[in-house]
Structure 1
Amino acid sequence: MLTSILIALAGGAAVGMSRSINGRLTMDRGAFRASFWNHFIGFALLTVFVVLFERQGLALLGQVPGWAFTGGVIGAVFVAISSYVFPRIGAARSALLIIGGQMIAGLAIDYLRGTAQFSIGQPAGVALILFGIYLTRFSK
């Protein structure tokens, strides 16, 4: 369990660093070009990884429903949006807003899929997230 938590924290740090670096590239080249290069380099790296280590995964590709690939479109939009907002509102505010949006969307998805049990802490947590977003937006 501790290993998974540390890996998740490292992943979060990687996202923060990636968005910050891409935000800098956005300032020089624009959000869509920065997003393109982010995805192109990531695609190249993952292509090498899949070819070297996951060849059996390619055979399973045809068994995946088409809608499952929309995550890539959403991911590309996320990177473009992140690249645009990071240099404009800063890393801390961007991260808080992104994480807040992820938590709210995750809770909504859990409810829509019927995988979450309702507890009073959940709406209280969402309220705290919204309050935190408000504080970062209006604090000096």
Structure 2
Amino acid sequence: MIKLVVALLATIGGAAVAVQSKVNGGLGKQVGLIEGSFISFLIGTLVLFFFTIFFGKGNIFAITEVPKWQLIGGILGAIYVSILIFSVNKIGVTSTLMAVVLGQIIIGAMIDHFGFFGGENYPITGKKIIAILLLIFSLYLFNK
């Protein structure tokens, strides 16, 4: 039952990304690509600041103790949002998100296969390769 709830939450997160893509794409058209990305992150930062104050249970000052490579998430997020703002305005939300999912699946499979970043190993099998190839083909068909 818990897996179903988590999958539902992930689906809601995916829906939020789809809406965010179009909203940020419109913002980028109005204010510019980099400026739109900045505004999006600024508002998100403010929301998370207040969430941290009122609901946070961790220790934000432990940032000095984590491996430095774990701090690149913000950089990757900025790259992601900037690319989405650009892409949505060029190829639409669906094509953009299909490409995003494809990139996530390919890199996710590599991370799982090799156990990068301290993760467990989940080997890439022939079935997984076929699934990835079908995703690539579906992206091709969708944009044809």
TM-score, normalising length: structure 1: 0.92
Where in structure 1 are there 5+ consecutive unaligned residues? Answer: none
Q: Using the alignment, how far apart are the partners of 1:12 and 1:55 within structure 2? A: 26
Which residues of 2 match residues 127-138 of structure 1 at below 5 A?
A: 127-138=133-144
Quote the Cα distance in structure 1 between the aligned partners of 2:7 and 2:57: 29
Q: Aligned pair in 2 of structure 1 residues 56, 110: CA closer, same or farther (>3 Å)?
A: closer
The residue that corresponds to 2:129 in the other structure is 123
1:3 counterpart = 2:1:
no
Q: Distance in 2 between matches of 1:56 and 1:109?
A: 27
Normalised by the length of structure 2, the TM-score is 0.90
Asked if structure 1 preserves the Cα contact closer than 8 Å seen for 2:25 and 2:89, the reply is: yes
Task: State the secondary structure of the residue aligned to 1:60.
Answer: helix
Q: CA RMSD in A?
A: 1.3
* CA shift for structure 1 position 58: 1.6
Residues 55-134 of structure 1: matches in 2 within 5 Å? Answer: 56-113=58-115, 115-134=121-140
Aligned length: 138
Tell me by how many angstroms 1:3 deviates. Answer: 1.0
Q: 2:39 aligns with which of 37, 40, 50?
A: 37
Instruction: State the identity as a percent.
Output: 29
1:48 aligns with 2:50: yes
